[in-house]
Amino acid sequence: DAGVIQSPRHEVTEMGQEVTLRCKPISGHNSLFWYRQTMMRGLELLIYFNNNVPIDDSGMPEDRFSAKMPNASFSTLKIQPSEPRDSAVYFCASSLMGSGANVLTFGAGSRLTVL
Amino acid sequence: GNSVTQMEGPVTLSEEAFLTINCTYTATGYPSLFWYVQYPGEGLQLLLKATKADDKGSNKGFEATYRKETTSFHLEKGSVQVSDSAVYFCARDGSSNTGKLIFGQGTTLQVKP
């Protein structure tokens, strides 16, 4: 398996633009997580899905952020409009819930810079 | 509440030195505990885990023992290498079987030759 695949790896955009980050989880995994990492706040859980259904989005900063999982092999995190304070590395992770200790497999991350 | 607290970094050691990174957690019940490692420019990777009290997780020379008496899961390595330089995250799973993990703030380790 190629692991969790995220795209783009790097994105530089201007304030006000729409940003879409993509994630392909490991085949067979039934849980998907979006995290955000910054120097100031560390690693924050934004939202997670079980069986394609959003379970907890309490970590989503505000209405500018939205996430979807239309099927078991694809998820998007969208920011519209983007702001400089959204600059961070966004990680997607997946796991097989119910397999015992919940081990998350992370993607390499998408580094977002909003100018 | 449910949280994970790690010792603050950065930790700077010479090669072959002994490493300890402290981690404590709060929880109702007995969560599974994890250490993840993040090398520069990469995502987090599972380093080791323990699922019940007194379990010892180990991998690549690193060890951590699940201590319910002290609610701790300290990471240790007897002899660090330059290649161990990374950020280390302690984590516990959620209070219900949600699959999500709660991470500590991370501890940066720098090993000098």
User: Do A105 and B46 make contact, defined as CB atoms within 8 angstroms?
Assistant: yes
DSSP code for A59: T
More confident residue, A102 or A111: A111
The pLDDT of residue B54 is above 90: yes
Tokens of B24: 């404590």
Helices (H) and strands (E) in chain B, counts: 0, 12
Contact, A103 vs B49, CB < 8 A? Answer: yes
User: pLDDT by residue (tens digit) across B3-40?
Assistant: 899 988 899 999 999 999 999 999 888 889 999 999 99
> A103: distance to nearest CA of chain B, Å?
7
Taking all residues of chain A, what is their mean pLDDT, rounded to a whole number?
A: 93
Q: Which residue of A has its CA nearest to B93?
A: A102
- A-B CB pairs within 8 A amount to 63
Instruction: Give A13→chain B minimum CA distance, Å.
Output: 20
B98 at the A interface (CB within 8 A)? Answer: yes
In angstroms, how far is the first alpha carbon of chain B from the final one? 41
- Judged by a CB distance cut-off of 8 A, whether residue A12 touches chain B is no
Using one digit for the tens of pLDDT, what is the confidence trace for A52-96?
Answer: 999 989 999 889 999 999 999 999 999 999 999 999 999 999 998
> Over the stretch B62-109, which tens digit does the pLDDT of each residue have?
999 999 999 999 999 999 999 999 999 999 987 666 678 889 999 999
The percent of residues above 90 in pLDDT, for chain A, comes to 81
For A10-56, the pLDDT digits (tens) are: 999 999 999 999 999 999 999 999 999 998 888 999 999 999 999 98
Question: What pLDDT does residue B110 have?
Answer: 96
